[in-house]
Amino acid sequence: MPASWIFWLELEREESVRFMAEMPFRTKTSPWRVVLGACAKHKKIKIGKQVARLLLELEPRGATNYVLLANNYARVGKWIESEKIRQMMKVRGIEKEVGLSWIENNKRIHIFGVEDRSHPLSAEIDKKLRELIGEIEEMGYVPDVSLASRDIVRDDRREESLYYHSEKLVFAYGVLSTNEGEKLMIMKNMRVCGDCHQAYKYFSLITGREIVLRDNSRFHHFKCGICSCSDYW
């Protein structure tokens, strides 16, 4: 992301919104989603609500817009408001796409969903994933439970549910099935989860792997604990 974008994202509400509004061309929805994601990251709920309102006007049936707004509320502990957004999606008949991640290996595509146990190497994948999670937790990784399902009551179970997102499962499979140090090319059909994005930075650090993840927003290149998107996507 250009340095100028990072700069204006740090401006006060009125200035950042004015910057987008005064662009000499019609701004598409994707830059606004970057702003909305940044609002969640920095817990700027007031700006997030304004940006979400605009996004919902431009793209009223865009499930990602609702999910990002719900995440904004969740990040500041406003669970009731977050749940209201998700209920709004149900009332309006807007369904969140099922998250899938996949990788090609030996001319075959290996696809994973959340908490997927269907792969023939499921037991080995689970073992490797637990090893990787243990290592990155020692390095400082802390699961972001604000991004876990609110249907799960116990905090420890919510943490564990994050471990089995499709992004993490496919990475564990990639480590198991490729040569040590080989770059991993991973695809995802949705915007990568914020917790998984953080985990991937740690994964690249502890394994020495370069990871290229293509989600529905952009390419992410993880190397030595850093992502090319600078955590804005």
As a whole number of angstroms, the distance between CA 84 and CA 86 comes to 5
pLDDT, the chain, mean = 85
> Which pLDDT band, with edges at 50, 70 and 90, does 156 fall under?
low
Residue 24's pLDDT is what? 52
pLDDT (mean) for 77-87: 89
Share of the chain above pLDDT 70, in %: 84
DSSP track, 7-49: HHHTS-HHHHHHHHHT-SSPPPHHHHHHHHHHHHHTT-HHHHH
Poorest-pLDDT segment among 25-39, 90-104, 143-157, 181-195: 143-157
Q: What is the pLDDT of residue 178?
A: 96
Fold designation for 3-91: 1.25.40
Find all residues with CB under 8 Å of 50, minimum gap 6, and list them.
13, 17
Q: Which residue has the higher pLDDT, 19 or 82?
A: 82
Amino acid symbol at 177:
S
Q: Encoding tokens for residue 211?
A: 């990871």
From-to residues of CATH 1.25.40 in the chain = 3-91
**Tens of pLDDT along 175-192?**
999 999 999 999 999 989
Task: Tell me the whole-structure pTM to 2 decimals.
Answer: 0.75
138: CB partners within 8 A, 6+ apart? none
